[in-house]
Amino acid sequence: MARSRRRPASKTQPGRGQQARVGPLQGRLSDVPPLDIDRLLGDEQVRIIVCCGSGGVGKTTTSAALALRAAESGRKVVVLTIDPARRLAQALGLTQLDNTPKPVNGLDHLEGTLDAMMLDMKRTFDEVVQTHATPAKAEQILANPFYQALSSSFAGTQEYMAMEKLGQLHAEATRTGRWDLIVVDTPPSRSALDFLDAPERLSSFLDGRLIRLLLAPAKGPARFLTAGMGIVTGALSKVLGGQMLRDVQTFVAALDTLFGGFRARSDKTYQILKDPQTAFLVVASPDGEALREASFFVERLAQEQMPLAGLVLNRVTAPIRAGLSAQAALAGAERLNGDDPVTTGLLRLHAGRLEQIGRERSLRRRFAAAHPTVATTTISALASDVHDVDSLRRVAELAAA
């Protein structure tokens, strides 16, 4: 299935690295439509929620918090995380997570069920091979040195395997009814778009000219091992080494029967992501880079006709009610001239917080001006790290407030 992957940014919306040019009265925060988290989590037509965004904005915490709240409201939930820091397991009170969904037990106020898992990239790749190849070919592939390197470190493999695992969970949920909601924490990639692009990149790699060239001798040595092929393979042997070239050729020959399956499954999962049963939540923090990435992702989802539920703005500085402006606080600190270090420090802290709130509001107004229809909810920054179920519940309450 042909599909456009990257398109030019709209002329009316900022692309990557751009900022919307807005006047002081544009993008008023009071005009931003609110994102009703509880309504989204309670909608039984929504079967998949994908939390996406750039790295370090709190996708894992948001995914776990929303999954917990949905389970507490009666949904049968599984949350899939792709976080190497394993914070999700710690927050849910589990010793560890692995590639198999595990029930989260001992939770209070749980009207539904909650399972959690962490993507094991290599194990998922191994499962794909074992499921879609004959036992003899699967054994040959799994033992191949080139496959072992590819399945562990090939660029995009983690994102592609996240798509594979999502497809597996969706199939099991449809077949058994074990879950009625899947919450996905996308990989902590350099770009938030890697999750969507990974299937196409891996399929393009497997369908590439070099792979087909290496595959040709295995399909018909008498036909393809011409003088020209001998020159090519000889040159590759010098670059890669003879043994590595043989490993690659053996791997490609064994994997040939799976090529069509990779593309077919990625296309099927891609269609699931475009279905109304899926809801994308773009997670960002109130800083310029994260919101630029969020803006680009919102545009990309619109171009791909994927269902965007809204923006979750995480770690927002909580507003404060005080008649003392930042300028007045700084002026007061200057007048004290160090005579009262405690008061001076408090005044400077107050000024700094007000200035931070101002910067965040300015960035939020720019995003609202560029995307006035994107529903938004904010989560105030907590005083401490999210490390247990109570703090996860607090994050969800803030998101739903």
Kindly list the domain boundaries of the chain, sorted by start residue. Answer: 29-203+258-323+374-400
- Give the residue among 350, 293, 305, 362 at the shortest CA–CA distance from 324: 350
Which regions in the chain score pLDDT beneath 50?
1-25, 218-242
Per-residue pLDDT tens over the stretch 247-298? 665 666 555 555 556 667 777 888 888 899 999 999 999 998 889 989 988 9
Burial 326-349 (b: 16+ CB within 10 A, else e): beebbebbeeeeeeeeeebeebbe
CB 393 within 8 A of CB 69: yes
Q: How far apart are the C-alpha atoms of 73 and 65, rounded to whole Å?
A: 12
Per-residue pLDDT tens over the stretch 138-170? 887 788 777 777 666 655 567 777 787 888 899
DSSP string, 157-187: HHHHHHHHHHHHHHHHHHHH-S-SEEEEE--
* Secondary structure class of 315 (helix, strand, coil): strand
pLDDT at 21: 37
Per the structure block, which two tokens stand in for 89? 């397991």
Q: How far apart are the C-alpha atoms of 353 and 366, rounded to whole Å?
A: 20
pLDDT at 46: 96
pTM over 0.85: no
The edge-to-edge listing of strands for the beta sheet with 48-52 is 102-103, 113-118, 76-81, 181-185, 48-52, 278-284, 308-316, 376-380
Q: For domain 29-203+258-323+374-400, which CATH number applies: 3.40.50.740, 1.10.460.10, 3.40.50.300, 3.30.300.30?
A: 3.40.50.300
Per the structure block, which two tokens stand in for 328? 């007045």
pLDDT at 382: 85
Burial 146-170 (b: 16+ CB within 10 A, else e): bbbebbeebebbbbbbbbbbbbbbb
pLDDT at 22: 37
**How many other β-carbons are positioned within 10 Å of the β-carbon of residue 246?**
15
Q: For residue 282, list its beta bridge partners.
A: 52, 311
